[in-house]
Amino acid sequence: MNEIKTKPPLWILLELTHKCPLECPYCYNQLDFAKIDDKMQKEDWFRVMEQAREMGAVQIGFSGGEPLLNKDLPELVKKANDLGFYTNLITSGVSAPIGIVQKLKEAGLKTVQIGIQSHDKDIITLLTNNKTAYEQKQNFIKEVKKEGIQLIINSTIHKLNIDHVDKIIEYANDVGANYLELANVQYYGWALENIDKLLPSKEQIEKARKITHTYRENKNNKMKVYFVVPDYYEVRPKACMNGWGTTFLTINPEGDALPCNMANTLPLKFPNVKDYSLEEIWNRSNSFNYFRGDSWMSEPCRTCNEKEKDFGGCRCQAFALTNDMNATDPVCEKSQHHNIITDTINRALETSNDGLIYRNRNNSINFIGKNHANC
């Protein structure tokens, strides 16, 4: 294993399972993610947390799939809390066992981030392909507020709900969210499969951003609102996870250690925490060192004066769009592949919302229903 000196990871994400009761067509997970088995046992997660804390990591997130499906979740949260981590649960709020929120609060859980697709039951049903998701989410939110846990609502924004941003903000405010993240879809995995049906126009994004800004300007509004623009409407790419292997470390249900959630879509071999310590993986593994520094870069990145800001952009996005993980992220207007982005935008403008592709491809349904004609 080669070694490049770097700072320790600050944020650890534990993907406890890739099982999920929902089939959201904008899911960023890789197309075959459901085939990844839950091979990590409670003791394995404990060991990972101990090693991460020893390295200096300070925040830990429990996610999936749906982390509520892991029966050991309260014990895992308690272990993390006892080690001194700031603990976060990233969930859909669906499939929650009775009394789980109280147990998580007692275990030391600090924050719940729940995904809410819309203020509207019919749109939630459509986007999750789950007829009881709306009610389950509402009940879960009530429990979180009852227990006094900080609540973050993440609403993934796309062509089907972007014209309802005002209603989503109103909904999040009414249920008592501390934070609302209006995160435009980042197009990986199933989201990339559905991009023509999901990518909004630039005009829609600007309108939604203005609505968000208007809410923020009202000093009586206490909820903090963030608006994340999709990469496709930028002229420079975002830095890949603040820089590949600089800040974030993800462990998937099989125990593979990854610099980001999507990294195992790349043609790299990632080490497993059952075979190596986190310190060995972070500092000396070939995969974590591969995109550190700039020796891997070709033009235009190699001589670009912005390469230390964006590090050539997202490696997973570059690979998904060009089949070359070393390529400049096509989002960058300097990229020789930038036409992929502009062509996609133009195609999406001409594509209807019908026929969403879910993880179960036999479940594709059309976007129809009351009052949704202009969504």
Please choose, from the candidates 291, 263, 285, the residue with its C-alpha nearest in 3D space to the C-alpha of residue 273. Answer: 285
pLDDT of residue 36: 72
From the list 238, 127, 137, 115, the residue with the least C-alpha distance to 183 is 115
pLDDT score for 357: 87
What's the rounded Cα separation, in Å, for the pair 295 and 237? 19
How many other CB atoms sit within 10 Å of the CB of residue 300? Answer: 15
Distance CA 292, CA 315 (A): 12
Domain regions of the chain by residue span:
9-374
| pLDDT at res. 372 | 30
Annotated binding-site positions for [4Fe-4S] cluster: 20, 24, 27
Tell me the binding residues.
20, 24, 27
pLDDT digits (tens, 9 = 90+) for 174-215: 999 999 999 999 898 889 999 999 999 999 999 999 999 999
| pLDDT on residue 215 | 96
pLDDT value of residue 8: 93
Q: What is the CATH number of domain 9-374?
A: 3.20.20.70
Can you give the pLDDT at residue 230?
A: 87
Question: Which residues of the chain fall below pLDDT 70?
Answer: 1-5, 30-35, 360-375
| pLDDT given at position 370 | 32
Q: Are 95 and 48 in contact (CB under 8 A)?
A: no
